[in-house]
């Protein structure tokens, strides 16, 4: 079949499993175990099925305005998209066009190399240190752009703001994307640095700390020129990227700061208690600043634990990849879900 010679062939991203069985504990995709703001439920009542016959606002003004107010920005400093995956893909397309290699960690969000391969962007991965942390000095080299999560995924390690700034300051001729999908669970955002550095873009999502993974809302923040370039690419690709419900419900969610903080606080409390319980069972791990914990057991292989939990209808994430094949990424669920997890773990490692 000669036409296959012209097919763009890539190894696709593998998302976390979405089981369709009942009575499960789902700790494999870092979803928030608590519902979004009650304001979302109220806004949902105002939606009419008749609204769906009309195109959504291509400028997404209601959502952009709500995000700008929540983060103390101008609307021209905010970009929104269909989850942070859409936002990050647009960032790759817009800013990673040099002949130099884009650089990102070797253990990181596994969509980065997929986008690079698909868009034919040259790239190089930089090894994390033995504690699964980024070494800022490793990013002081010629490059065509930089992207990294903070906290890192899937390890949960947090890079302090001073280290983030060190990387941004060392690369004035490259765009640096800081993917802050998990920043609300214990980190300090690099957002204030966008006033100081014109090469910095911050990407965040409503899927984790804002409990809206099912709606797909993501956003980026940066200086006006960066955001304009980003919108130019978006409008050249798809003018109507976000649907009407996402725009309306996303604006309602981001307006409720108190509920957002309460949800994050509950997850952080459960995370701290879960870390204590993991230690009691002999697991080893670095402290997490995300809504998950990246754990390994010195006696029982991760795949054995993964399979045992699956039999018990408890789903966690296992990555069959170099350096991390003996680790499990465990999302922080409700206290009741974590009780069920640890009861099963005692059976397999106790």
Q: What is the pLDDT of residue 103?
A: 98
Quote the pLDDT of residue 51. 85
pLDDT of residue 4: 82
Contacts for 279 with CB less than 8 Å, ≥ 6 apart: none
Residues of the chain under the 70 pLDDT cut: 1
Is the pTM higher than 0.85? The answer reads: yes
Instruction: List domains and CATH numbers for the chain.
Output: 18-36+258-349 (3.90.1150.10), 38-255 (3.40.640.10)
* 333-340 LR contacts (CB < 8 Å, sep 24+): 333/25, 333/26, 333/27, 333/33, 333/270, 334/33, 334/34, 334/270, 335/270, 335/273, 337/25, 337/27, 337/33, 338/270, 338/273, 338/274, 338/277, 340/25, 340/314
Residues 277-306: b if buried by 16+ CB within 10 A, e if exposed: ebeeeebebbebbbbbbbbbbeebebeebb
pLDDT value at residue 22: 82
pLDDT at 20: 80
Whether the CB-CB separation of 35 and 252 falls below 8 Å is answered with: no
Tell me the C-alpha distance between 327 and 120, whole Å.
31
Confidence (pLDDT) at 98:
94
The kind and range of the H/E element at 231 are helix 224-237
* Predicted local distance difference test score (pLDDT) of residue 11: 79
């Amino acid at each position: 079949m000669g036409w296959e010679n012209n097919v763009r062939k890539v190894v696709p991203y593998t998302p976390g499993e979405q089981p369709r069985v009942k009575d499960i504990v789902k700790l494999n995709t870092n979803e928030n175990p608590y519902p979004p703001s009650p304001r979302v439920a109220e806004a949902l009542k105002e939606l009419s099925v008749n609204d769906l016959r009309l195109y959504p606002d291509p400028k997404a003004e209601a959502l952009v305005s709500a995000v700008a107010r929540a983060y103390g920005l101008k609307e021209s400093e905010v970009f929104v998209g269909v989850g942070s995956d859409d936002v990050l893909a647009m960032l790759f397309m817009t800013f990673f066009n040099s002949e130099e290699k884009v650089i990102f960690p070797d253990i990181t969000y596994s969509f980065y190399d997929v986008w690079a391969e698909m868009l034919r962007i040259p790239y190089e991965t930089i090894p994390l240190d033995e504690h699964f942390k980024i070494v800022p000095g490793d990013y002081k080299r010629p490059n065509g752009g930089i992207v990294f999560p903070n906290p890192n995924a899937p390890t949960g390690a947090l890079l302090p703001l001073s280290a983030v700034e060190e990387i941004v300051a060392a690369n004035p001729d490259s765009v640096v994307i800081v993917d802050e999908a998990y920043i609300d669970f214990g980190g300090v955002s690099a957002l204030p640095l966008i006033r100081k550095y014109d090469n910095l873009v911050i990407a965040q999502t409503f899927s984790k700390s804002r409990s809206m993974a099912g709606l797909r809302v993501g956003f980026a923040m940066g200086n006006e020129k960066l955001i304009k370039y980003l919108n130019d690419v978006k409008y050249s690709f798809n003018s109507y990227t976000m649907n009407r419900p996402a725009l309306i419900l996303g604006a309602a969610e981001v307006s409720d700061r108190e509920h957002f903080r309460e949800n994050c606080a509950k997850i952080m409390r459960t995370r701290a208690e879960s870390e204590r319980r993991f230690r009691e069972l002999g697991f080893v791990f670095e402290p997490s600043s995300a809504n998950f914990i990246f754990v390994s057991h010195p006696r029982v292989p991760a795949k054995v634990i993964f399979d045992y939990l699956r039999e018990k209808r408890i789903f966690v994430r296992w990555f069959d990849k170099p350096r991390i094949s003996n680790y499990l990424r465990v999302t922080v669920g409700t206290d009741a879900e974590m009780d069920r997890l640890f009861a099963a773990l005692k059976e397999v490692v106790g």
